[in-house]
Structure 1
Amino acid sequence: MKKITTTTLILASFFAFGQQKNKSQAHSFSTKDKTVAVYTTAEGTNLKLSKTDTFSFSEMIQPKETQICVFVNPDKTFQSFLGIGGAITDASAEVFAKLSNDKQQEFLNAYYSQDKGIGYTLMRTTIHSSDFSSGSYTYIEEGDTTLKSFTIEHDRKYRIPLIKKALTTAGKEMTLYASPWSPPAFMKSNKGMLKGGTLLPEFSQYWAIYYTKFIKAYEKAGIPIWGITVQNEPMAVQKWESCVFSAEAERDFLKNYLGPTMKKEGLGDKKIIVWDHNRDLMLQRANIIFSDPEAAKYAWGIGFHWYETWAGGNPMFENVAKVNEAFPNKNLLFTEGCIEKFDAKNYQLWTNGERYGSAMIHDFNNGTVGWTDWNILLDENGGPNHVGNFCFAPIHADTKTGELIYTPSYYYIGHFSKFIRPEAKRVSTAVSRSSLLSTSFLNKDGKMVTVVMNQSDTTVIYNLCVGTQATEITILPNAIQTLVY
């Protein structure tokens, strides 16, 4: 009887494996009868997300060393794609409110329509004020330990209306998460929202409840919240709203207060993201929090920014890969980046766009599931910002003329966000020359999307190689292309 049962199990397992294998084969990607549509943005031209070519595949068994190639292997897939988007801050919403109705619609289409714009699917917002607000504020009266005065009435004037219009334009629910810059002043060691300080231990439970009140209030207002980050930039003492959490302090707050409170309040399905700061220290933060099972069980993943270059070095993309390698069961999310130090003379500075393209390709290839830009809109001064920390956005509005100014960053982001859709799978991709960068994703509809960026000052002729099929493509100097096939 035992022998028969064992044989039956082996046969059943073999049959199941065969079914699984056949199912995998049935859904494998093929270039047969497919053409490659090429969309290009290039410096010194009028090409901006412009369809420039359509090519067909032909056989290429073995590329020569002299042939530049982008190799795509659809049989090797990695992380699922969450989305790409930007932050709706108070500043963005206040500037949006100053636009004419026509310009408001143009702006909404530019970001949130996939057909007319670049199809954002990810959104960040703030829990009360940040530096990109016209002033500091919270949702409670100062000193209210009962939190009974909690209200999001402040946000109903500008921010909530813009978020709702963005959701409507996108045509479906956006993945929206929120981040706090500082607890209320009375909860902190320095008795102020600005210039760092730490959360006083006796207010840990009150602060944890504050997040849940925010989520419930926004959802009651018709805005679904997917998740939260614990603290924006927890290792930075800024002249604006900021609060310092060591790795151990964030771990303990998450496991003893925030995680249990979210669960108790019926919000256990909401995602919690730790760190939310630069790539430089992210592995140390991941080591401390994710190595503690009681803290790690509440953390969906780790968020990161790109400002580690403030110290004069290069972007530390490899740290993203190291976190992914050490904690493959945790998600990586780029939560903020912008071009710092606003100067209107640099609206069209091409290297600003290239910074986005390079970062997005590296971050995705290192395992990142989603990528969130900072302010979606700022004015002609790079604000408003109540402490003078003026920066760039992909789109600016000149509030004097009412015109919208599109920067190269907008188009570089668009080469990803317009074509790669939620739940796509990243696909193994490699280049044979350092002048090129590339990443690929396979959308659920079966369309492959390969982004290729030319970092050099010369035209490059390369072959897009998928298995033994290839097509030859030309990319202009300092350009980015999206190939859809």
Structure 2
Amino acid sequence: MLKYSILSIIIMSFSSYGQEIQKLYSKEKLIQVFTTAENTDLRLTPTNNLNFIPSQQPIESEISVYVNPTQSFQNFMGIGGAITDASAEVFAKLSAVKQAELITAYYDKKNGIGYSLLRTSIHSSDFASESYTYIQEGDQELKTFSIDHDKKYRIPMIKRAIQSAGGNLLLYASPWSPPSFMKSNKTMLKGGTLLPEFYQAWANYYAKFVKAYEKEGMPIWGITIQNEPMATQTWESCLFTADAERNFLKNYLGPTMQKEGLSSKKIVVWDHNRDLMNYRANVIFDDPEASKYAWGMGFHWYETWSGGQPMFDNVRKVYEAYPSKNLLFTEGCVERFDAKKYQFWGNAERYGTSMINDFNNGTVGWTDWNILLDENGGPNHKGNFCFAPIHADMKTGELIYTPSYYYIGHFSKFIRPDAKRISTASSRSNLLSTTFKNLDGSFVTVVMNSSSDKIKYNLILGTEKTIVEIPPHAIQTLVY
């Protein structure tokens, strides 16, 4: 009798599963299509409303994107950008109308692209008009610690972003260098290392920063240990080997955050390029005493400086090796600013390619670099001028939207925090795609065509499909 009861439960479970799948693939389910395409006026533009129709085995000559909602992966944390000193300084010079426009463009869910992450720096980075810290030089006890510098430009802008995002924005911070006196080369610039005798003072500095920002009404989600710890730059930089970062985390930063009542704050390691991330993960995550303090790993996209291709597989290998750890893209921008390339489409496709591959390889969140720069790609006190998705021409007071802004928006506007990535694959290499399921049950599939050809493709879900056409050099978001 018990055997038949169990069998009945199994049969009913399969029947219920089948009904859910049938409900998901209902022909009455509307698919909204939004498109951005080169050489057109399409910019996150609604371009079609489609329905599902019955699907059979696709043939080789058809191009298809397959979505399997029965297979899901990581939870989605969000997408955003960095409010640096440079962004805030430019923002402060804009008219009130343009300030409101910029904040809405990034953070408003309905009228903008709905950013939900925000990175900022712990004192100065290169993207500022000057190099500075929060203490007087030589103050090992941090008695002079003050964030007054940030209250002029950066903090007001961050608060407006939080307000526009509905009062909830995941904020994290990264240092570019300890103060000069704490370093082997006695300058915040040009690399150097943190001297062992200042490990505890530097750990205390993070805790003071978190508390000071939170006192100003800006909750801090977490910190990264060091921006680009293997790069000697002409600007603020500091080197940490894998062993040094592990030991600092294990013996100083982790225990200090706990002691200061900040154990809920996430600590992110590495915060550098994909090329060396696997070694860093091995050294830190294989040490149980260090690993227990690490929420996960941050990474950037600049490994192409050597002339090679992006190392997307390295992200997947960390995801597979350490499934309990999280992966967060913490910085990317298009280098070597050139005003003639504001509308250069390849810059946007670099974003789309990275975002799709990074998400498909296990990344939970994706953070662009400066959200705003001026018409020179700055200010930057060491001349490291770069692109941002939006620039302000300070001569005219106008905002310049680059294609990158819209490509990012194809993800951030539609995929919302706590969504779950869903299995997706394309039958052709010229179409990249990823899919997420939002908490409200809606599915979001992003498809990117980097070829010079218009492509007709099937979006296939189980026994149902819809047929979509994507222009050359375009990105589409399908919401259903």
TM range (shorter): over 0.9
**1:157 shift after superposition:** 0.2
CA gap of 1:36–1:165, structure 2 versus 1, over 3 A, is: same
Structure 2 residue corresponding to 1:479, chosen from 463, 474, 478? 474
Match of 2:210 in 1: 215
Give the partner amino acid of 2:85.
Answer: D
- Output aligned runs, 1:22-37, within 5 Å: 30-32=24-26, 33-37=28-32
Secondary structure of 1:283's aligned partner: helix
Relative to structure 1, is the Cα distance of residues 229 and 21 closer, same or farther in structure 2, using a 3 angstrom cutoff?
Answer: farther
The code of the aligned residue for 1:30 comes to L
Structure 1 counterpart of 2:190, one-letter code? K
Divergent runs of 4+, >2 A: 10-29
Match of 1:61 in 2: 56
- Provide closer, same or farther for how the CA distance between residues 16 and 157 of structure 1 changes in structure 2, counting only shifts above 3 A: farther
How has the CA–CA distance of structure 1 residues 173 and 23 changed in structure 2, closer, same or farther, with 3 Å as cutoff? farther
Match of 1:101 in 2: 96
Distance 1:20 1:94, change over 3 A: farther
Whether 1:46 and 2:57 are equivalent positions in the alignment is: no
Residues 17 and 88 of structure 1: CA distance in aligned 2, closer, same or farther (over 3 Å): farther
Distance in 2 between residues matched to 1:91 and 1:13, nearest whole Å: 64
Three-state SS of the structure 2 residue aligned to 1:74 is: strand
Give the SS at the match of 1:373. strand
Tell me the CA shift for residue 24 of structure 1. Answer: 7.6
Unmatched tracts of structure 1, length 5 or more = 1-6
1:231-271 Cα deviation digits (max 9, x unpaired): 00000000000000000000000000000000010000000
CA distances 1:430-483 after superposition (whole Å, capped 9, x unpaired): 000111000000000010000000011000000000011001100000000000
1:308 corresponds in structure 2 to 303
SS where residue 100 of structure 2 aligns? helix
State the secondary structure of the residue aligned to 1:190. coil
**Structure 2 counterpart of 1:90:** 85
Distance 1:144 1:27 in 2: 63
Deviation, 1:346, is 0.3
What is aligned with 2:375? 380
1:4 is aligned to none
Distance 1:358 1:94 in 2: 31
CA distance in 2 between counterparts of 1:305 and 1:431 reads 26
Q: CA deviation at 1:27?
A: 7.0
Q: Which amino acid aligns with 2:441?
A: G
Letter of the 1:434 partner, please give it. S
The CA deviation string for residues 63-84 of structure 1, in whole angstroms up to 9 with x for no partner, is: 1111110000000000000000
Question: Which of residues 69, 75, 78 is equivalent to 2:73?
Answer: 78
| AA aligned opposite 1:474 | E
Displacement after TM superposition at 1:18 (Å): 9.9
The CA distance in 1 between the partners of 2:8 and 2:170, in whole Å, is 39
CA–CA distance in structure 2, aligned partners of residues 465 and 119 of structure 1: 28
Cα deviation for residue 16 of structure 1 reads: 10
Partner amino acid, structure 2, of 1:380 = E
What is the distance in 1 between the residues matched to 2:345 and 2:89? 27
What is the aligned residue count? 478
Query: Which TM-score applies when normalising by structure 1?
Result: 0.96
Instruction: Pick from 441, 448, 452 the counterpart of residue 447 of structure 2.
Output: 452
Question: What is the deviation of 1:173?
Answer: 1.1
Query: Per the alignment, do residues 312 and 27 of structure 1 end up closer, same or farther by CA in structure 2, a change over 3 Å counting?
Result: same
Distance between the aligned counterparts of 2:178 and 2:11, measured in 1? 56
- Structure 2 alignment gaps of length 5 or more: none
Residue correspondence of structure 1 range 307-386 to structure 2 within 5 A: 307-386=302-381
Displacement after TM superposition at 1:172 (Å): 2.8
Tell me the residue number matched to 1:282.
Answer: 277
What CA deviation, in whole Å up to 9, does each residue of 1:256-306 have, x standing for no partner?
A: 000000001000000000000000000000000000000000000000000
Q: How does 1:182-221 map to 2 (within 5 A)?
A: 182-221=177-216
Which amino acid letter does the alignment assign opposite residue 124 of structure 1? R
Q: Distance in 2 between matches of 1:14 and 1:197?
A: 67
Post-superposition offset of 1:61: 2.2
Q: In structure 2, how many angstroms separate the alpha carbons of the residues matched to 1:338 and 1:57?
A: 38
- What fraction of aligned residue pairs are identical, expressed as a percent? 68
Q: Specify the alignment match of 1:3 in structure 2.
A: none
- Aligned partner of 1:412 in structure 2 is 407
Distance 1:345 1:318, change over 3 A: same
3-state SS of paired residue (1:97):
helix
Q: Distance in 2 between matches of 1:70 and 1:22?
A: 27
> 2:172 matched to 1:142?
no
Q: Distance in 1 between matches of 2:17 and 2:290?
A: 36
Query: Does structure 1 residue 439 correspond to structure 2 residue 430?
Result: no
Q: Deviations over 1:188-224 (max 9, x none)?
A: 0001000000000000000001000000000000000
- Measured in 1, the distance between the counterparts of 2:31 and 2:289 equals 48
Q: Which amino acid letter does the alignment assign opposite residue 25 of structure 2? A: T
Equivalent position of 1:233 in the other structure: 228
* Structure 2 counterpart of 1:31, one-letter code: Y
1:295 maps to amino acid = A
Q: 1:14 to 1:377 in 2, by over 3 A?
A: farther
Cα gap change, 1:60 to 1:155, in 2 (>3 Å): same
Structure 2: distance between partners of 1:116 and 1:263: 40
- For the structure 1 residues 15 and 338, does the alpha-carbon distance in structure 2 shift closer, same or farther, using more than 3 Å as the test? farther
Match of 1:296 among 266, 291, 296: 291
The two structures, once aligned, show a CA RMSD in angstroms of 2.0
What does the per-residue CA deviation read over 1:394-418, in whole Å, with 9 as the maximum and x for residues that have no partner?
Answer: 0000011000000010000000000
Look up the equivalent residue of 1:360 and give its one-letter code: M
Q: Give the equivalent residue in structure 1 for 2:108.
A: 113
TM-score for the superposition, normalised by structure 2? 0.97
2:254 paired residue among 254, 259, 273: 259
Shift of 1:353: 0.3
